[in-house]
A and B are shown apart, each in its own frame.
Chain A
Amino acid sequence: GDSVTQMEGPVTLSEEAFLTINCTYTATGYPSLFWYVQYPGEGLQLLLKATKADDKGSNKGFEATYRKETTSFHLEKGSVQVSDSAVYFCALIFFSNDYKLSFGAGTTVTVRA
Chain B
Amino acid sequence: KAGVTQTPRYLIKTRGQQVTLSCSPISGHRSVSWYQQTPGQGLQFLFEYFSETQRNKGNFPGRFSGRQFSNSRSEMNVSTLELGDSALYLCASSLRQGANYGYTFGSGTRLTVV
Write the residues of chain A forming the contact surface with B, with a CB cutoff of 8 angstroms. Answer: 31-32, 36, 41-46, 49, 51, 89, 93-95, 97-106
Q: Quick check: A94 and B99 within 8 Å, CB to CB? A: yes
Q: Quick check: B43 and A89 within 8 Å, CB to CB? A: yes
Contact segment of B61-69, B77-85, B102-110? B102-110
Q: Mark B62-96, 1 if CB is under 8 A from A, else 0.
A: 00000000000000000000000000001010000
The SS class assigned to the B binding surface is strand
Write the residues of chain B forming the contact surface with A, with a CB cutoff of 8 angstroms. Answer: 4, 6, 31, 33, 35, 42-43, 45, 48, 55-56, 58, 90, 92, 97-100, 102-108
Residues of A contacting B106 in the complex (Cβ-Cβ under 8 angstroms): 43
Interchain CB contact (< 8 A) of B107 among A42, A46, A99, A101: A42
